[in-house]
Structure 1
Amino acid sequence: MKYRIVWCILLLLGILFAANLFLGSAKIPFRSVLSILMGEGTEKDTWMYIILQTRLPQAVTAMFAGAALAVAGLMLQTVFANPLAGPSILGIDSGASLGVALVILLYGGTVGGVVVGLSFSGYMAVIFGAFTGAITILGIIIFFSTLIRSNVMLLIIGIMIGYITSSAISLLNFFSTAEGVFSYTMWGMGDFSGVSAEQLPYFCGILALGLLLALVLIKPLNALLLGERYAENLGVNVKRVRILLLISTGILTAVTTAFCGPVAFIGLAVPHIARLMLGTSNHKLLMPVTLLCGSFIALLCNLLSVLPGSAGVIPLNAITPVLGAPVIIYVIVNQKKIQYFN
């Protein structure tokens, strides 16, 4: 029965991926889209550009970003034994946001323009700033993880780091120009269209490495469900596993946030959706289902964002809370009935 769920998700994922190619803000006939995808090349150049350079990279980006955030959330919820843990809980995406704020607000750069004092485009500077900020915070968290054994204390440190970065961002916003504040606000809304066709192989490759590392940690994660002491008795090096988990989570969160902005709720809600579907916390099945559900939810949000058509595109972070918040509310209300971490 549980494996039927996997096949159903795969089928729905394929349908949703195709829908992201055939539907969008620009109306393109079904046959024309099919012709372009088959490589016949007889359609308008504008349509070919929209399909091959915009919709296809955006759909692939959504799949990988959704999978990355969902898997990162699952690992954090397991290691902290906390159903409300997510990729943002350790302040990693806050670090990425601070990096972007420094580029846009301090140096006067914009997402589409040229950053003052830097030799590359403003857009690439934003990506570089986000990645640097996220990796810096990850390094700080890994350092504290070598000093502190308590996962709860490490969780609190991550929250405090998030508060500090938020305070720094608020100060930068206060002293910045109106154009800088607007550019930063737009980036903070989240968007899967930030990865070009040329950047896509690098984006997917790095996230694939992070996901592969997560799959390697399936057995230690199952052991951690029973507690750290029990895992140590089984021969699991808890300290090493925690560092590897932070590295994997950092890679998945940093790269996704750098290119797509701080996408909300996917990393927090999707692992719960997968658990409710399967009725198990065994990561051997839960991990791949969470990965697939993350891709599905991200593709769904990406498709919903273009529903207004020519009227514009709905910000991604205006959609994800509508889908994710009810799941979290349900988990909180029924937390005594749902035993995830034992």
Structure 2
Amino acid sequence: MKKAEHTPGIRWLALIAALVISVFLNLGMGSVRLSWSELWADGEGLNSAQYVLLNYRLPKALAAICTGAGLSLCGLLMQTLFRNPLAGPFVLGISSGAGLGAALLLLGSSALMSTVGAVTPSSGLLILASSMGSLGVLLLVGAMAKYVQDTLSLLIVGLMLGSVTTALVGVMSYFSSSEALQQYIFWSFGSLGGMSWPQVILLLVFTFVGIVLALAMIKGLDGFLLGEDYAQSMGISPDRIRLGCIIAAGLLAGSCTAFAGPIAFVGLAVPHIARQQIKEMGHRYQIPAVLLYGSTILLLCDSLAQWPGSAYVLPINAITSLFGAPMVIWIVLKQKRLRF
């Protein structure tokens, strides 16, 4: 009996320990090997190892934490909103909508580019455009979900919306300049590296706002998951919860995609992993769980993309797809066993 009482606490400590270990593992990965003696060396200014750690490795690790946590929480909110185990920012086309918003800036017409000036992934305009694109697709999926109750049918709707946004991006790519096209292609691969401290801080702020919005809706999310009639009997406004989920999910998906590019399957797979490992089903437990699991998993994926001593870096999207695609297949095969 005592062992059962202590098991949840041990599980949470193990999650935190795994996150800390993943951070140190990620900091040690890169084309330049860092030694402890150089990192702890005293002297005027920063030596090369300290400079690499503070200006490249540490911002990348923090970006992985924010992006993994943000996309995972976005997936949890969407699965609650649609009561659908296959809901996720990438699968339902939300990430594609964010990519379309980014493409409108990166691949826009010469008139638009002359208006906004040089646009980079660090621009606040890019965050706004990505968030608006993700919100637009999310609203379309939400409207169609009222008429499409079947899980696989809703998945097909999301995939078709993603195809439409991809086609629009393709049309813009055809008419864009080579410099803008190169910039967009590099962004579309997905990357956590190359972020400056101001960019990381801005990503942290947007992720924090999304987390606060989700935490403020914990009671409403639990009631909404049990049905709108039950939520209303508890004094919860389903429309308010629905709007809050859309705003928080759009903000998280848009900001994470704007900075890190479209990253697949994290938002879909991580909530299912959290439900399997954390048996408590309330959102007061599920939200912290997906934040910890999402951060840890994306840190590990980024570490796999960059082996120590190697100058080659794999696209983070390729690693997450190898991890997440089998999870989607498993969810489809085991769909009847899932309870929402």
Task: Specify the code of the residue in structure 1 equivalent to 2:86.
Answer: L
CA offset digits 1:119-166 (Å, max 9, x no partner): 754425766235314325525755996x8882848x687666434322
Q: Which amino acid aligns with 2:302?
A: N
Deviation at 1:284, TM superposition (A): 1.8
Residue matched to 2:80:
78
The Cα of 1:302 is off from its aligned counterpart by: 1.3
Q: Give 5+ residue unaligned stretches, structure 2.
A: 1-6
- What secondary structure sits across from 2:336 in the alignment? coil
Q: Which residue of 2 aligns with 1:150?
A: 146
CA distance in 1, matches of 2:279, 2:43: 48
CA displacement at 1:4 relative to structure 2 = 1.7
Verify the 8 A CA contact 1:20 1:59 in the aligned structure 2: yes
1:190/1:218 CA distance change after superposition, 3 Å: same
Q: Is the 8 A contact 2:79 2:85 kept in 1?
A: yes
Alignment match, 1:32: 38
Residue number in structure 1 paired with 2:339: 340
Asked whether the equivalents of residues 80 and 152 of structure 1 are also in contact (C-alpha less than 8 Å), the reply is: no
Alignment: residue pair count: 329
**Mapped partners of 1:90, 1:331: distance in 2:** 15
Distance of 1:10 and 1:321 partners within structure 2? 25
Q: Aligned partner of 1:333: which letter? A: L
Conserved? CA contact 1:281–1:340, under 8 Å:
no
Between the aligned partners of 1:118 and 1:54, the Cα distance in structure 2 is 32
Aligned-pair identity (%):
36
Q: 2:97 touches 2:134 (CA, 8 Å); kept in 1?
A: yes
What is the one-letter code of the residue matched to 1:25? S
Contact 2:73–2:291 under 8 Å retained in 1:
yes
Name the residue aligned to 1:111. none
Query: Which whole-Å deviations, capped at 9, do the CAs of 1:245-268 have from their partners, x for residues lacking one?
Result: 111111111111111101111101
- The whole-number CA distance in structure 2 between the counterparts of 1:149 and 1:27 is 50
> Aligned partners of 2:221 and 2:125: how far apart in 1?
32
Say whether residues 1:68 and 2:55 are aligned partners.
no
Match of residue 198 from structure 1:
198
**Structure with greater contact order relative to length (CA < 8 Å, sep ≥ 6):** 2
Match of residue 317 from structure 2: 317
State the Cα distance separating 1:31 from its structure 2 match.
Answer: 2.8
Q: Are the equivalent residues in 1 in contact too, given 2:210–2:248 (CA < 8 A)? A: yes
Alignment partner, residue 4 of structure 2: none
State the secondary structure of the residue aligned to 2:245.
helix
CA distance in 2, matches of 1:131, 1:92: 14
**Structure 2 vs 1, CA of residues 161 and 217 (structure 1 numbering), >3 Å: closer, same or farther?**
same
- Contact kept in structure 1, 2:70 and 2:291, CA below 8 Å: yes
SS of aligned partner of 1:193 = coil
Deviations 1:279-315 (CA, angstroms, capped at 9, x unpaired): 3432221111111000001111111111163331111
Q: Residue type of the partner of 2:129?
A: T
- The answer to whether the Cα contact below 8 Å between 2:105 and 2:129 also exists between their aligned partners in 1 is no
Q: Within 1, Cα distance between the matches of 2:270 and 2:18?
A: 16
Of residues 35, 52, 55, the one that matches 1:50 is: 52
Q: Offset at 1:214?
A: 0.7
The residue correspondences of 1:1-342 to structure 2 (distance < 5 A) are 1-33=7-39, 35=40, 40-41=42-43, 45-88=47-90, 91-107=93-109, 117=114, 120-124=117-121, 128-138=125-135, 141=138, 150=146, 152=148, 161-307=161-307, 309-337=309-337, 339-341=338-340
* TM-score, length-scaled by structure 1: 0.85
- Tell me the amino acid that sits aligned with residue 32 of structure 1: E
> What is the alpha-carbon distance in structure 2 between the residues aligned to residue 31 and residue 125 of structure 1?
34
In structure 2, distance between residues paired with 1:10 and 1:91: 31
1:191 and 1:316 in contact (8 A); partners too: yes
Shift of 1:32: 2.1
